[in-house]
Protein backbone atom coordinates (compact mmCIF):
# COMPACT_ATOMS: atom_id res chain seq x y z
CA UNK A 1 0.00 0.00 0.00
CA UNK A 2 1.77 3.09 -1.24
CA UNK A 3 0.35 5.68 1.12
CA UNK A 4 3.10 6.98 3.43
CA UNK A 5 2.70 10.69 2.56
CA UNK A 6 -1.04 10.67 3.21
CA UNK A 7 -0.64 8.63 6.41
CA UNK A 8 1.90 11.09 7.81
CA UNK A 9 -0.40 14.02 7.04
CA UNK A 10 -3.27 12.27 8.80
CA UNK A 11 -1.20 11.51 11.91
CA UNK A 12 -0.04 15.14 12.09
CA UNK A 13 -3.62 16.36 11.73
CA UNK A 14 -4.69 14.05 14.56
CA UNK A 15 -2.04 15.51 16.81
CA UNK A 16 -3.09 19.08 15.96
CA UNK A 17 -6.72 18.32 16.69
CA UNK A 18 -6.00 16.44 19.89
CA UNK A 19 -3.82 19.27 21.19
CA UNK A 20 -6.26 22.00 20.28
CA UNK A 21 -4.53 23.12 17.09
CA UNK A 22 -6.55 25.49 14.94
CA UNK A 23 -8.57 24.20 12.04
CA UNK A 24 -11.44 25.42 9.94
CA UNK A 25 -14.63 23.68 11.03
CA UNK A 26 -17.70 23.47 8.89
CA UNK A 27 -20.78 21.38 8.27
CA UNK A 28 -20.95 19.62 4.95
CA UNK A 29 -23.56 16.89 5.08
CA UNK A 30 -24.79 15.49 1.80
CA UNK A 31 -27.11 12.63 0.97
CA UNK A 32 -25.56 10.26 -1.55
CA UNK A 33 -28.01 9.73 -4.40
CA UNK A 34 -26.09 7.89 -7.08
CA UNK A 35 -28.30 6.09 -9.54
CA UNK A 36 -28.49 3.03 -11.72
CA UNK A 37 -31.06 1.76 -14.17
CA UNK A 38 -32.54 -1.13 -12.18
CA UNK A 39 -36.08 -2.13 -11.21
CA UNK A 40 -37.52 0.06 -8.47
CA UNK A 41 -37.77 -1.79 -5.14
CA UNK A 42 -36.09 -4.80 -6.69
CA UNK A 43 -34.87 -7.36 -4.15
CA UNK A 44 -31.57 -9.24 -4.35
CA UNK A 45 -31.49 -13.03 -4.55
CA UNK A 46 -31.62 -14.85 -1.20
CA UNK A 47 -28.33 -15.08 0.65
CA UNK A 48 -26.72 -18.41 -0.26
CA UNK A 49 -26.48 -21.06 2.44
CA UNK A 50 -22.82 -21.79 2.94
CA UNK A 51 -21.80 -25.36 2.14
CA UNK A 52 -18.52 -24.13 0.74
CA UNK A 53 -15.43 -22.33 1.92
CA UNK A 54 -16.95 -19.00 0.91
CA UNK A 55 -20.45 -17.85 -0.03
CA UNK A 56 -22.09 -14.48 -0.68
CA UNK A 57 -24.08 -12.55 -3.25
CA UNK A 58 -23.22 -9.16 -4.71
CA UNK A 59 -25.78 -6.43 -5.36
CA UNK A 60 -25.86 -2.86 -6.57
CA UNK A 61 -27.74 -0.32 -4.45
CA UNK A 62 -28.76 3.31 -4.67
CA UNK A 63 -31.91 5.38 -4.36
CA UNK A 64 -33.47 3.43 -7.26
CA UNK A 65 -33.41 0.12 -5.44
CA UNK A 66 -31.32 -3.05 -5.17
CA UNK A 67 -30.42 -5.57 -7.89
CA UNK A 68 -27.77 -8.26 -8.51
CA UNK A 69 -24.50 -7.21 -10.16
CA UNK A 70 -21.85 -9.21 -11.97
CA UNK A 71 -18.62 -9.32 -9.98
CA UNK A 72 -15.28 -11.07 -9.64
CA UNK A 73 -13.57 -12.82 -6.73
CA UNK A 74 -9.79 -12.82 -6.28
CA UNK A 75 -7.93 -14.94 -3.71
CA UNK A 76 -4.61 -13.65 -2.31
CA UNK A 77 -1.98 -15.52 -0.33
CA UNK A 78 -0.23 -14.09 2.74
CA UNK A 79 2.28 -12.25 0.54
CA UNK A 80 -0.58 -10.56 -1.33
CA UNK A 81 -0.15 -12.37 -4.63
CA UNK A 82 -3.20 -13.53 -6.59
CA UNK A 83 -3.49 -17.31 -6.22
CA UNK A 84 -5.51 -18.16 -9.32
CA UNK A 85 -7.59 -16.66 -12.11
CA UNK A 86 -10.44 -14.54 -10.74
CA UNK A 87 -13.80 -16.25 -10.26
CA UNK A 88 -16.40 -14.33 -12.28
CA UNK A 89 -20.14 -14.63 -11.60
CA UNK A 90 -22.51 -12.72 -13.92
CA UNK A 91 -25.38 -13.19 -11.43
CA UNK A 92 -23.29 -12.17 -8.40
CA UNK A 93 -24.07 -15.43 -6.57
CA UNK A 94 -20.90 -17.06 -5.16
CA UNK A 95 -20.56 -20.51 -3.59
CA UNK A 96 -16.95 -21.53 -3.87
CA UNK A 97 -14.22 -23.52 -2.15
CA UNK A 98 -11.39 -21.13 -1.43
CA UNK A 99 -7.78 -22.30 -1.80
CA UNK A 100 -6.15 -23.49 1.41
CA UNK A 101 -3.48 -20.78 1.46
CA UNK A 102 -5.96 -17.90 1.10
CA UNK A 103 -5.13 -15.01 3.43
CA UNK A 104 -7.11 -12.20 1.76
CA UNK A 105 -10.05 -12.14 -0.61
CA UNK A 106 -11.08 -9.29 -2.90
CA UNK A 107 -14.49 -8.79 -4.51
CA UNK A 108 -14.53 -6.52 -7.57
CA UNK A 109 -17.37 -4.89 -9.49
CA UNK A 110 -16.94 -2.68 -12.56
CA UNK A 111 -19.59 -0.33 -13.95
CA UNK A 112 -20.00 2.53 -16.38
CA UNK A 113 -21.56 5.69 -14.97
CA UNK A 114 -23.97 8.09 -16.67
CA UNK A 115 -20.99 9.99 -18.15
CA UNK A 116 -19.68 6.77 -19.73
CA UNK A 117 -16.73 6.69 -17.33
CA UNK A 118 -15.47 3.44 -15.83
CA UNK A 119 -16.04 2.89 -12.09
CA UNK A 120 -14.13 0.10 -10.34
CA UNK A 121 -15.02 -0.82 -6.73
CA UNK A 122 -13.01 -3.34 -4.70
CA UNK A 123 -13.78 -4.76 -1.26
CA UNK A 124 -10.96 -6.73 0.37
CA UNK A 125 -11.43 -8.84 3.51
CA UNK A 126 -8.19 -8.78 5.47
CA UNK A 127 -6.96 -12.07 6.96
CA UNK A 128 -9.87 -14.43 6.32
CA UNK A 129 -8.40 -16.86 8.87
CA UNK A 130 -9.46 -14.43 11.58
CA UNK A 131 -13.03 -14.32 10.30
CA UNK A 132 -14.17 -17.94 9.99
CA UNK A 133 -13.23 -21.21 8.35
CA UNK A 134 -16.65 -21.09 6.68
CA UNK A 135 -16.83 -17.56 5.27
CA UNK A 136 -20.51 -16.68 4.75
CA UNK A 137 -20.49 -12.97 3.88
CA UNK A 138 -24.21 -12.62 3.16
CA UNK A 139 -24.89 -9.69 0.83
CA UNK A 140 -21.98 -7.58 -0.40
CA UNK A 141 -23.24 -4.20 -1.58
CA UNK A 142 -21.69 -2.00 -4.25
CA UNK A 143 -22.61 1.58 -5.08
CA UNK A 144 -24.71 2.32 -8.16
CA UNK A 145 -23.64 4.99 -10.66
CA UNK A 146 -25.97 5.24 -13.64
CA UNK A 147 -28.96 7.56 -13.58
CA UNK A 148 -32.58 6.50 -13.28
CA UNK A 149 -35.88 8.29 -13.60
CA UNK A 150 -37.76 9.60 -10.59
CA UNK A 151 -40.42 7.19 -9.34
CA UNK A 152 -42.76 10.05 -8.47
CA UNK A 153 -45.41 9.92 -5.78
CA UNK A 154 -47.78 12.90 -5.75
CA UNK A 155 -49.25 14.21 -2.49
CA UNK A 156 -52.43 16.28 -2.68
CA UNK A 157 -52.24 18.72 0.26
CA UNK A 158 -55.19 20.97 -0.65
CA UNK A 159 -57.54 19.46 1.96
CA UNK A 160 -54.83 19.42 4.64
CA UNK A 161 -54.02 23.08 3.96
CA UNK A 162 -57.63 24.11 4.62
CA UNK A 163 -57.81 22.49 8.06
CA UNK A 164 -54.21 23.25 9.08
CA UNK A 165 -53.32 26.48 7.31
CA UNK A 166 -51.04 27.66 10.15
CA UNK A 167 -49.05 24.42 10.12
CA UNK A 168 -45.74 23.41 8.59
CA UNK A 169 -45.47 20.07 6.77
CA UNK A 170 -42.14 18.27 7.24
CA UNK A 171 -40.79 15.27 5.34
CA UNK A 172 -40.02 16.69 1.91
CA UNK A 173 -36.73 18.27 0.89
CA UNK A 174 -37.92 21.57 2.37
CA UNK A 175 -40.41 22.39 5.10
CA UNK A 176 -43.74 23.34 3.53
CA UNK A 177 -45.94 26.09 4.98
CA UNK A 178 -49.35 24.68 4.15
CA UNK A 179 -51.02 28.08 3.72
CA UNK A 180 -48.53 28.93 0.96
CA UNK A 181 -48.07 25.48 -0.58
CA UNK A 182 -49.12 24.37 -4.05
CA UNK A 183 -52.03 21.94 -4.13
CA UNK A 184 -49.75 19.03 -5.02
CA UNK A 185 -46.26 18.05 -3.86
CA UNK A 186 -44.03 15.43 -5.44
CA UNK A 187 -41.60 13.02 -3.80
CA UNK A 188 -39.17 10.73 -5.62
CA UNK A 189 -39.92 7.48 -3.82
CA UNK A 190 -37.66 5.11 -5.79
CA UNK A 191 -36.36 2.55 -3.23
CA UNK A 192 -38.38 3.95 -0.31
CA UNK A 193 -41.17 1.70 0.93
CA UNK A 194 -42.83 4.27 3.16
CA UNK A 195 -42.42 7.86 4.32
CA UNK A 196 -42.89 9.60 7.65
CA UNK A 197 -44.51 13.05 7.40
CA UNK A 198 -45.54 15.33 10.23
CA UNK A 199 -47.29 18.65 10.70
CA UNK A 200 -46.38 21.28 13.28
CA UNK A 201 -48.04 24.41 14.62
CA UNK A 202 -45.45 26.70 16.18
CA UNK A 203 -48.06 28.76 18.05
CA UNK A 204 -49.83 25.89 19.82
CA UNK A 205 -47.05 23.31 19.98
CA UNK A 206 -49.23 20.76 18.20
CA UNK A 207 -47.04 18.20 16.41
CA UNK A 208 -48.60 15.13 14.74
CA UNK A 209 -47.19 12.50 12.41
CA UNK A 210 -48.25 9.76 10.05
CA UNK A 211 -46.56 7.01 8.01
CA UNK A 212 -47.57 6.67 4.35
CA UNK A 213 -47.00 3.66 2.10
CA UNK A 214 -45.28 4.54 -1.17
CA UNK A 215 -46.02 1.20 -2.82
CA UNK A 216 -49.83 1.36 -2.95
CA UNK A 217 -50.12 4.04 -5.64
CA UNK A 218 -48.57 7.24 -6.92
CA UNK A 219 -51.29 9.65 -5.72
CA UNK A 220 -51.91 10.24 -2.00
CA UNK A 221 -54.50 12.70 -0.67
CA UNK A 222 -53.48 14.04 2.74
CA UNK A 223 -56.05 14.95 5.35
CA UNK A 224 -56.02 15.88 9.02
CA UNK A 225 -57.18 12.34 9.89
CA UNK A 226 -53.90 10.91 8.54
CA UNK A 227 -51.87 12.61 11.29
CA UNK A 228 -52.86 10.82 14.47
CA UNK A 229 -49.57 10.23 16.30
CA UNK A 230 -48.51 12.93 18.77
CA UNK A 231 -44.89 13.95 18.45
CA UNK A 232 -42.53 13.67 21.42
CA UNK A 233 -39.71 16.21 21.52
CA UNK A 234 -36.21 14.72 21.69
CA UNK A 235 -33.86 15.96 24.40
CA UNK A 236 -30.78 17.23 22.55
CA UNK A 237 -29.28 19.37 25.32
CA UNK A 238 -26.03 17.38 25.21
CA UNK A 239 -25.57 18.24 21.52
CA UNK A 240 -24.31 21.83 21.67
CA UNK A 241 -21.22 22.03 19.46
CA UNK A 242 -21.36 24.57 16.65
CA UNK A 243 -20.42 22.10 13.92
CA UNK A 244 -22.68 19.30 15.18
CA UNK A 245 -25.43 17.82 13.06
CA UNK A 246 -28.12 15.69 14.71
CA UNK A 247 -29.99 13.07 12.72
CA UNK A 248 -33.15 11.25 13.81
CA UNK A 249 -33.96 8.02 11.98
CA UNK A 250 -35.73 4.69 12.34
CA UNK A 251 -32.77 2.79 10.92
CA UNK A 252 -29.63 2.66 13.06
CA UNK A 253 -27.43 1.69 10.11
CA UNK A 254 -28.46 4.52 7.78
CA UNK A 255 -24.99 6.08 7.80
CA UNK A 256 -23.43 2.76 6.85
CA UNK A 257 -25.80 1.41 4.24
CA UNK A 258 -26.77 4.77 2.67
CA UNK A 259 -30.45 4.12 3.33
CA UNK A 260 -32.45 7.34 3.41
CA UNK A 261 -33.29 8.64 6.87
CA UNK A 262 -36.77 9.74 7.84
CA UNK A 263 -35.86 13.36 8.44
CA UNK A 264 -33.02 15.47 9.76
CA UNK A 265 -32.54 18.87 11.34
CA UNK A 266 -29.71 20.84 12.89
CA UNK A 267 -29.30 20.59 16.64
CA UNK A 268 -30.80 24.03 17.39
CA UNK A 269 -34.17 22.99 15.88
CA UNK A 270 -36.61 20.84 17.91
CA UNK A 271 -36.59 17.21 16.85
CA UNK A 272 -39.49 14.82 17.30
CA UNK A 273 -40.16 11.09 17.45
CA UNK A 274 -43.51 9.33 17.07
CA UNK A 275 -43.56 6.28 19.39
CA UNK A 276 -47.11 5.28 18.48
CA UNK A 277 -46.26 4.60 14.84
CA UNK A 278 -42.47 4.00 14.91
CA UNK A 279 -41.18 1.00 16.85
CA UNK A 280 -37.71 2.40 17.53
CA UNK A 281 -36.04 5.72 16.77
CA UNK A 282 -32.33 6.51 16.81
CA UNK A 283 -30.31 9.68 17.26
CA UNK A 284 -26.99 10.15 15.49
CA UNK A 285 -24.60 12.96 16.27
CA UNK A 286 -22.34 13.93 13.37
CA UNK A 287 -19.28 16.18 13.69
CA UNK A 288 -16.95 17.20 10.90
CA UNK A 289 -13.96 19.45 10.41
CA UNK A 290 -11.48 20.09 7.63
CA UNK A 291 -7.87 21.24 7.60
CA UNK A 292 -4.77 21.27 5.42
CA UNK A 293 -1.45 19.70 6.38
CA UNK A 294 1.62 19.53 4.13
CA UNK A 295 -0.48 20.30 1.02
CA UNK A 296 -2.84 17.46 1.92
CA UNK A 297 -6.52 18.15 2.57
CA UNK A 298 -7.80 16.36 5.69
CA UNK A 299 -11.46 15.75 6.53
CA UNK A 300 -12.38 14.28 9.93
CA UNK A 301 -15.90 12.94 10.46
CA UNK A 302 -17.30 11.57 13.71
CA UNK A 303 -20.57 9.68 14.16
CA UNK A 304 -22.21 8.36 17.33
CA UNK A 305 -25.60 6.62 17.39
CA UNK A 306 -27.91 5.68 20.24
CA UNK A 307 -31.52 4.66 20.77
CA UNK A 308 -34.22 7.10 21.91
CA UNK A 309 -36.85 5.91 24.38
CA UNK A 310 -40.53 6.85 24.19
CA UNK A 311 -39.97 9.95 26.37
CA UNK A 312 -37.45 11.42 23.90
CA UNK A 313 -34.44 10.60 26.08
CA UNK A 314 -31.24 8.97 24.91
CA UNK A 315 -27.89 8.15 26.42
CA UNK A 316 -24.97 10.34 25.47
CA UNK A 317 -23.15 8.10 22.98
CA UNK A 318 -19.49 9.07 23.02
CA UNK A 319 -17.54 9.84 19.86
CA UNK A 320 -14.22 8.14 19.20
CA UNK A 321 -11.70 10.68 20.41
CA UNK A 322 -8.94 12.27 18.33
CA UNK A 323 -5.85 11.53 20.42
CA UNK A 324 -2.09 11.07 20.44
CA UNK A 325 -2.68 7.30 20.50
CA UNK A 326 -4.71 7.62 17.31
CA UNK A 327 -1.99 9.67 15.62
CA UNK A 328 0.65 7.13 16.64
CA UNK A 329 -1.44 4.26 15.26
CA UNK A 330 -1.73 6.02 11.90
CA UNK A 331 2.00 6.81 11.80
CA UNK A 332 2.96 3.22 12.64
CA UNK A 333 0.70 1.84 9.90
CA UNK A 334 2.68 3.73 7.22
CA UNK A 335 6.19 2.70 8.25
CA UNK A 336 6.66 -0.09 5.72
CA UNK A 337 5.48 -1.37 2.38
CA UNK A 338 3.86 -4.28 4.23
CA UNK A 339 1.70 -2.40 6.66
CA UNK A 340 1.22 -3.49 10.24
CA UNK A 341 -1.60 -1.66 11.96
CA UNK A 342 -2.90 -1.70 15.52
CA UNK A 343 -5.77 0.56 16.60
CA UNK A 344 -6.66 -1.51 19.66
CA UNK A 345 -5.30 1.07 22.12
CA UNK A 346 -7.17 4.02 20.56
CA UNK A 347 -10.58 3.12 21.99
CA UNK A 348 -11.52 -0.18 23.62
CA UNK A 349 -14.88 -0.11 21.80
CA UNK A 350 -13.36 -0.26 18.28
CA UNK A 351 -13.85 -3.66 16.66
CA UNK A 352 -13.36 -3.04 12.91
CA UNK A 353 -10.95 -1.00 10.79
CA UNK A 354 -11.43 -0.12 7.10
CA UNK A 355 -8.82 1.45 4.81
CA UNK A 356 -10.24 2.98 1.61
CA UNK A 357 -8.04 4.15 -1.26
CA UNK A 358 -9.42 6.11 -4.21
CA UNK A 359 -7.72 7.22 -7.40
CA UNK A 360 -8.13 7.55 -11.17
CA UNK A 361 -6.05 5.92 -13.90
CA UNK A 362 -6.26 5.11 -17.59
CA UNK A 363 -6.78 1.37 -17.07
CA UNK A 364 -9.26 1.14 -14.20
CA UNK A 365 -11.08 4.49 -14.39
CA UNK A 366 -12.31 5.78 -11.03
CA UNK A 367 -11.23 3.25 -8.39
CA UNK A 368 -12.48 2.80 -4.82
CA UNK A 369 -10.67 0.07 -2.86
CA UNK A 370 -11.78 -0.74 0.69
CA UNK A 371 -9.79 -3.15 2.88
CA UNK A 372 -11.50 -4.11 6.12
CA UNK A 373 -10.37 -6.20 9.05
CA UNK A 374 -9.90 -6.52 12.80
CA UNK A 375 -8.41 -3.77 14.97
CA UNK A 376 -4.95 -5.31 14.56
CA UNK A 377 -3.46 -6.91 11.47
CA UNK A 378 -1.06 -6.82 8.54
CA UNK A 379 -1.79 -5.73 4.98
CA UNK A 380 0.57 -7.03 2.33
CA UNK A 381 1.28 -5.39 -1.03
CA UNK A 382 -1.84 -6.87 -2.63
CA UNK A 383 -1.57 -7.78 -6.31
CA UNK A 384 -4.31 -8.55 -8.84
CA UNK A 385 -2.34 -9.67 -11.89
CA UNK A 386 -3.76 -8.13 -15.05
CA UNK A 387 -7.09 -7.30 -13.48
CA UNK A 388 -5.81 -4.28 -11.55
CA UNK A 389 -2.32 -3.08 -12.37
CA UNK A 390 -1.16 -0.45 -9.91
CA UNK A 391 2.42 -0.31 -11.15
CA UNK A 392 1.56 0.93 -14.66
CA UNK A 393 -1.63 2.79 -13.86
CA UNK A 394 -0.04 6.11 -12.78
CA UNK A 395 -2.80 7.07 -10.32
CA UNK A 396 -4.07 10.66 -10.19
CA UNK A 397 -6.20 12.43 -7.57
CA UNK A 398 -5.32 9.90 -4.84
CA UNK A 399 -7.06 9.86 -1.49
CA UNK A 400 -6.91 7.60 1.54
CA UNK A 401 -9.60 7.10 4.19
CA UNK A 402 -9.49 5.32 7.54
CA UNK A 403 -12.74 4.28 9.16
CA UNK A 404 -12.77 3.00 12.74
CA UNK A 405 -16.03 1.32 13.73
CA UNK A 406 -17.13 0.74 17.33
CA UNK A 407 -20.18 -1.50 17.45
CA UNK A 408 -21.92 -2.47 20.66
CA UNK A 409 -20.53 -5.98 20.51
CA UNK A 410 -18.04 -7.75 22.77
CA UNK A 411 -17.43 -10.95 20.82
CA UNK A 412 -14.64 -11.83 18.39
CA UNK A 413 -14.24 -10.30 14.96
CA UNK A 414 -15.38 -13.57 13.37
CA UNK A 415 -18.56 -13.50 15.45
CA UNK A 416 -19.12 -9.86 14.53
CA UNK A 417 -18.85 -10.65 10.83
CA UNK A 418 -21.39 -13.47 11.13
CA UNK A 419 -23.79 -11.33 13.12
CA UNK A 420 -23.55 -8.48 10.60
CA UNK A 421 -24.14 -10.67 7.54
CA UNK A 422 -26.76 -13.12 8.78
CA UNK A 423 -30.44 -12.11 8.82
CA UNK A 424 -30.99 -10.10 11.99
CA UNK A 425 -34.08 -9.72 14.13
CA UNK A 426 -34.97 -6.23 15.30
CA UNK A 427 -33.65 -6.97 18.79
CA UNK A 428 -30.30 -8.17 17.43
CA UNK A 429 -29.99 -5.05 15.27
CA UNK A 430 -30.72 -2.92 18.32
CA UNK A 431 -28.10 -4.76 20.39
CA UNK A 432 -25.46 -4.48 17.68
CA UNK A 433 -25.98 -0.93 16.45
CA UNK A 434 -27.86 0.98 19.17
CA UNK A 435 -24.68 2.40 20.64
CA UNK A 436 -22.21 2.60 17.77
CA UNK A 437 -19.52 5.10 16.88
CA UNK A 438 -17.53 5.74 13.72
CA UNK A 439 -14.48 7.87 13.01
CA UNK A 440 -13.59 8.54 9.39
CA UNK A 441 -10.48 10.46 8.29
CA UNK A 442 -9.89 11.19 4.62
CA UNK A 443 -6.65 12.59 3.23
CA UNK A 444 -6.43 13.75 -0.40
CA UNK A 445 -3.79 15.46 -2.51
- Give the pLDDT score at 20: 42
Q: Is the pLDDT at 328 greater than 80, yes or no?
A: yes
The rounded mean pLDDT for the chain is 79
Q: Tell me the H-state helices in 253-393.
A: 254-257, 324-333, 390-393
Which residue has better confidence, 371 or 30? 371
Q: What percent of the chain has pLDDT over 90?
A: 26
Q: What is the DSSP string of 250-279?
A: S-TTHHHH-PPPSEEEETTS--EE-TTT-S
Which residue has better confidence, 321 or 331? 321
Model confidence, pTM: 0.81
The DSSP call for residue 346 is T
Which pLDDT band holds residue 336 (cuts at 50, 70, 90)?
A: low
- Give the pLDDT score at 256: 35
* CB proximity list for 100: less than 8 A, separation 6 or greater: none
The per-residue pLDDT for range 111-168, each reduced to its tens digit, is 998 889 999 999 998 877 665 556 777 788 888 887 778 889 999 999 999 999 999 9
Which residue has better confidence, 392 or 81? 81
Q: What is the largest CA-CA distance in the chain?
A: 70
* CB proximity list for 280: less than 8 A, separation 6 or greater: 250, 307, 426, 430
Which residue has better confidence, 404 or 281? 404
Between β-strands 71-76 and 87-89, what pairing exists: parallel, antiparallel or unpaired?
Answer: antiparallel
* Among the ranges given (51-55, 312-316, 317-321), the one the predictor scored with the smallest mean pLDDT: 51-55
Compute and round to an integer the Cα radius of gyration of the chain: 23
Residue 211: which of 267, 270, 266, 275 has the closest Cα?
A: 275
Q: Is the pLDDT at 352 greater than 80, yes or no?
A: yes
The per-residue pLDDT for range 232-277, each reduced to its tens digit, is 999 888 887 777 778 888 766 543 332 333 334 444 578 899 999 9
How many CB atoms lie under 10 A from the CB of residue 143?
A: 16
Residue 303: which of 34, 29, 33, 108 has the closest Cα?
A: 29
Q: Is the pLDDT at 225 greater than 90, yes or no?
A: yes
Residue 197: which of 158, 223, 236, 217 has the closest Cα?
A: 223
Residues 35, 36, 42, 47, CA torsion sign: negative
Q: What is the mean pLDDT of residues 281-286?
A: 86
Which residue has better confidence, 355 or 30? 355
- Give the pLDDT score at 255: 39
Q: What is the mean pLDDT of residues 417-423?
A: 64
Which pLDDT band holds residue 329 (cuts at 50, 70, 90)?
A: confident
Amino acid sequence: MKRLTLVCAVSTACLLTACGGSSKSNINVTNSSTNTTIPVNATPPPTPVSKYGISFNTVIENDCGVAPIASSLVFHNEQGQAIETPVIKPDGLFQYSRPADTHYISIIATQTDSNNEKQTEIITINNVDDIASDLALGTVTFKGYQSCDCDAVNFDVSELAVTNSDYTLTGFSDNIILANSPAELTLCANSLQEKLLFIKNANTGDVRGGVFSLTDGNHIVLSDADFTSTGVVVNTTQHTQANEYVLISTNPANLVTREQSRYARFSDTPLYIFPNIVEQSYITSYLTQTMNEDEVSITIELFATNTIDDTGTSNAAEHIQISAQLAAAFADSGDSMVDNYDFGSVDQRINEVTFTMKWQDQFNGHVSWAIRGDTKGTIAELLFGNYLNEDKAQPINPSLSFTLAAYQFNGSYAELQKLRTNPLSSNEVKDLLAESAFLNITASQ
